[in-house]
Amino acid sequence: MRILHTADWHIGRTFHGHQTMAALREVLGALAQVVRDQRIDVVIAAGDIFDSAAPSGEAFTLLQETLTGIREAGADLVLISGNHDSAARLGFAAPFARLGGVHIATDPGATGTPLTLSDEYGPVDFYCVPFLEPALIRHRWPGVPLRNQADALRFAMGRIRASVAQRSAEGARSVVVSHTFAAGGEVESSESERAIANVGTVDVVPLSTFDGVDYVALGHIHGRAKLANHIRYSGAMLHYSFSEAGKPRGGWLVELGAGGMSGAEWIDLPVPRPLVVLKGELEDLLSASDLEQYREHWVSASLTDSTRPLDAMRRLQARFAWCAHVEHRPVKLVGDGASSYAERVQGKSDEQVLEAFLRHVRNGEGPTDSEAELFEDVVSEHRGVTASL
């Protein structure tokens, strides 16, 4: 069986205020051709199908187009709900979709019950573990300690292993599809993920939790990662933060033979608009000829000017139309040594306070001659008004 492992479609997500629907349509539309070219039997989407619990009508339309295209290309689909999805909305038509080869799993109570598909070697059991929020599921198993993600996945995998032990006697191979934060995934995590775990705490799920199955298709981390040969993240379908710049986008093509997993290779998908982070002084970014290649990229500019340039975003967008983010990161920060505002103004005249403030916010650059004159005029006018009261 040839399985394409994808995850984190995030239909409906924006990128620094920009819509991504058209770009995602291009990427998801390419899946159907991959299915044809690579003779894929099953496409997995390991959670976060939508970006919000209340997707727009356009988001549902894109999902429908994608699922239809993949089915027409000849593959079955296995989808689970992630922490961004509404399990009720995503799973609403699951019983009907299953009749058409689209298998949507959103029920935590069904984790120990496999979805069984077959190839020439016999059955392949897909165990679907949607995002398990401990606070929302512990009432279903009151005698089980479900304090965190690690507990929830340990419990779910215990049920799965019991089923695998029974089913393996019949020659069934096993695939787990889960949306969670597994140990080792923090290496590929990025600022775009809304954390479900604090790295280094019990909310990170140990890899040993997933022992005993042939392949584990994970979702949630937006970067491609191989945590073990049979435990992998495919990453997101688009780049959703500049910390993901340069990371590949696509899915794992996993081959299951008669004895289990026999291999995996990476399949690239289109990157409609690459990301780049440019660093330097504003005037250099606006004039450097070697940056011309980034005119059609998403651009994040880290400005190293000693003081914050005026109107930087507008000026950058005149050259880089898709500049989406600007930050001021001067190479050297100039301080006045004061530990508090009271210390900063102690013993200073009004004019000196204004000058010190300007130096503070301008990273050491004091007032110009005209600004100094303006300070004097303002202070004199203030003193005159005060004296007349």
Q: Residue 311 above 80 pLDDT?
A: yes
Per-residue model confidence as pLDDT tens digits over 190-243: 565 544 444 444 489 999 999 999 999 999 999 999 999 999 999 999 999 999
Per-residue model confidence as pLDDT tens digits over 22-39: 999 999 999 999 999 999
Provide the domain count of the chain: 3
Whose CA is closest to 83, among 42, 43, 136, 28?
A: 136
Per-residue model confidence as pLDDT tens digits over 174-186: 999 999 999 886 6
- Same domain for 293 and 260? no
- Same domain for 213 and 261? yes
**Is residue 192 a contact partner of residue 222, using CB atoms and an 8 Å limit?**
yes
Q: How distant, in Å, are the alpha carbons of 20, 48, 182, 189, 351 from that of 194?
A: 18, 11, 15, 10, 47
Q: Residue 319 above 90 pLDDT?
A: yes
For residues 60-66, give the mean pLDDT. Answer: 97
The last residue of a domain, from among 217, 242, 268? 268
CATH number of the domain to which 114 belongs: 3.60.21.10
For residues 237-254, give the mean pLDDT. Answer: 94
Per-residue model confidence as pLDDT tens digits over 73-100: 999 999 999 999 999 999 998 999 999 9
Assess if residue 336 is contained within a domain. no
Assess if residue 176 is contained within a domain. yes
Give kind and range of the element (H or E) at residue 275.
Answer: strand 275-280
The last residue of a domain, from among 238, 268, 298? 268
pLDDT at 202 (0 to 100): 44
- Same domain for 49 and 73? yes
**Sign (positive/negative) of CA torsion 246, 247, 251, 256?**
positive
Q: Residue 170 above 50 pLDDT?
A: yes
For residues 122-144, give the mean pLDDT. Answer: 95
pLDDT at 196 (0 to 100): 45
- Same domain for 314 and 363? no
Number of other residues whose CB lies within 10 A of the CB of residue 387: 7
Q: Residue 361 above 50 pLDDT?
A: yes
- Same domain for 359 and 314? no
- Same domain for 126 and 180? yes
Q: Residue 293 above 80 pLDDT?
A: yes
pLDDT at 364 (0 to 100): 64
In this prediction, residue 308 has a pLDDT band, given cuts at 50, 70 and 90, of confident
- Same domain for 240 and 109? yes
- Same domain for 126 and 164? yes
CATH number of the domain to which 289 belongs: 3.30.160
**Is residue 296 a contact partner of residue 273, using CB atoms and an 8 Å limit?**
yes
For residues 97-104, give the mean pLDDT. Answer: 95
Beta pairing, strands 231-233 & 225-228:
antiparallel
The last residue of a domain, from among 242, 268, 294? 268
Assess if residue 220 is contained within a domain. yes
State the DSSP string of 309-352.
PTTHHHHHHHH-TTEEEEEE--SS------SSHHHHHTT--HHH
Question: Largest Cα–Cα distance in the chain?
Answer: 99
In this prediction, residue 19 has a pLDDT band, given cuts at 50, 70 and 90, of very high
For residues 265-271, give the mean pLDDT. Answer: 97
pLDDT at 387 (0 to 100): 66
- Same domain for 50 and 130? yes
Mean of pLDDT over the chain? 90
Assess if residue 335 is contained within a domain. no
**Is residue 38 a contact partner of residue 70, using CB atoms and an 8 Å limit?**
no
pLDDT at 370 (0 to 100): 82
Q: What percent of the chain has pLDDT over 90?
A: 75
Location of structure tokens 């995590």 = 189
Residues contacting residue 301 through CB under 8 Å, at least 6 positions apart: 277, 278, 279, 282, 285, 312, 316, 320, 323, 325, 326, 327
Q: Residue 70 above 50 pLDDT?
A: yes
Location of structure tokens 């998801």 = 28
Q: Residue 385 above 90 pLDDT?
A: no
For residues 269-280, give the mean pLDDT. Answer: 96
Number of other residues whose CB lies within 10 A of the CB of residue 334: 13
Beta strands in 34-130 (DSSP E): 42-46, 76-80, 102-105, 115-119, 122-129
Q: Residue 338 above 80 pLDDT?
A: no
Structure token digits, residue 25: 């349509």
**Sign (positive/negative) of CA torsion 79, 83, 85, 91?**
positive
- Same domain for 13 and 127? yes
For residues 353-367, give the mean pLDDT. Answer: 71
- Same domain for 66 and 211? yes
Assess if residue 333 is contained within a domain. no
- Same domain for 186 and 262? yes
Comparing 121 with 170, the larger pLDDT belongs to 121
Domain that holds residue 350: 341-388
Q: What percent of the chain has pLDDT over 70?
A: 90
Helices then strands, each counted (H, E), the chain: 11, 17
Q: Residue 343 above 90 pLDDT?
A: no
DSSP reduced 3-state for 53: coil
